[in-house]
Amino acid sequence: MGVKGLAPFIRKQCPQYSVKRGLREYYGRVIAIDASFLMCRFVKVMEENTKQPHMIGLYNFLNEVFEYSIRPLFVFDGNPPQEKGRGDVGPLVKEMRDDWKRFLQELGLCYVEAPGEAEAQCAILEMRGLVYAVVTDDLDSIAFGTKRILTGFGKRGCNEINGEKVRELFGGREKFIEACVLSGCDYCEGMKGVGMKRALSLVREGRTSLTEEMEIAKCLLTLPKVERNLTISWARKSNESIKQTLENFNIRKNVTSFIKHYENTFSTRQLTINEYFSVSK
């Protein structure tokens, strides 16, 4: 769910903080991927099809980002707080997750298993400068502190949301989080009759009286369970090794172009933030 009403709030009240961009604009960058964002695309298809469309979907996604030498860092959910009300994942999602991890590992691609929420872990990776932006449709990433959120990410591009500007609109991260819990989020229902627009007025006026449930939710968004001491590394594989991996997963389409894009991605030096802005101008 994320934060109730946040996406339409940004779209209507501050559209200038969401910019349409093409994938080319992220050339040579490392980008964190909230794995659940992609998984939700394939669960329904997988339920109706026994030919593992989740693997074809992941393969196609990788081919698309490799075309622009984007190096993806997948982040998988760990155990969510009990307040989220979500227990163990089902066997279908577990199968998808295990298959993806094995596929990424065999391709030499790095992934992270978050101790808690993947979006929170992605935010820490961005804060530490290990990734440039975060791919997710879950906008509580803004509450966790992410600066650049890429929503609707795909071959046609994405919407880049400026998390810093959104938080500043509310008076900073603490006030933004208060607005989130008033409107309702993954950890609490929120205040009846209060959406993000009304919550903005309340936090600006200093009239935020939070219930105990809301205070707990605020704490969970402010201090999420994350791993801060991470080392990120990739292991480039040989062409023959890649071919064998694809064969093992019954993937035979566009193999030549995939390997070419893979090689280009690993031979492209990852840009610094200053270099990125120089290229983008």
CATH number at 194 reads: 3.40.50.1010
Q: Is residue 229 part of a domain?
A: no
According to DSSP, the residues that pair with 32 across neighbouring strands are: 73, 134
Task: Tell me if residue 76 falls in helix, strand or coil.
Answer: strand
Contacts of 147 (CB under 8 A, 6+ apart): 126, 133, 162, 163, 164
Asked whether residue 272 carries a pLDDT value surpassing 60, the answer given is no
What's the pLDDT at 86?
Answer: 56
Cα–Cα distance list, 181 to 6, 144, 211, 214, 258 (Å): 11, 13, 10, 6, 44
Alpha-carbon gap, residue 255 to 246, rounded angstroms: 8
Does residue 179 fall inside a structural domain? Answer: yes
Whether residue 202 is contained in a domain is answered as: yes
> Is 204 buried (19+), middle (13-18) or exposed (0-12) by CB count in 10 A?
middle
Determine the average pLDDT of the residues in 21-44. Answer: 89
Q: How confident is the model at residue 40 (pLDDT cuts 50, 70, 90)?
A: confident
| Model pLDDT, residue 47 | 57
The CA distance from 24 to 21, in Å, is 8
Tell whether 253 is covered by a domain: no
pLDDT at 270: 58
In 3-state terms, what secondary structure has residue 157? strand
Taking residues 205-230, report their average pLDDT. 94
139-143, 234-238, 264-268: the lowest-pLDDT one: 264-268
- Pick from 37, 102, 105, 34: which is nearest to 74 by CA? 34
Q: Say whether pLDDT at 142 is over 60.
A: yes
Helix (H, G, I), strand (E, B) or coil at 29: coil
CA dihedral 219, 1, 110, 127 (to 10 degrees): -40
Total domains present in the chain: 1
What mean pLDDT is predicted for residues 192-219? Answer: 94
Give the structural domain span for 83. 6-224
Sorting pLDDT into bands at 50, 70 and 90, what band is 80? confident
Q: Is residue 264 part of a domain?
A: no
In a domain, 76, yes or no: yes
Q: How far is CA 248 from the centre of its chain?
A: 28
Q: Give pLDDT, residue 46.
A: 57
Confidence of residue 48 (pLDDT cuts 50, 70, 90): low
The answer to whether residue 255 sits within a structural domain is no
User: Domain for residue 193, yes or no?
Assistant: yes
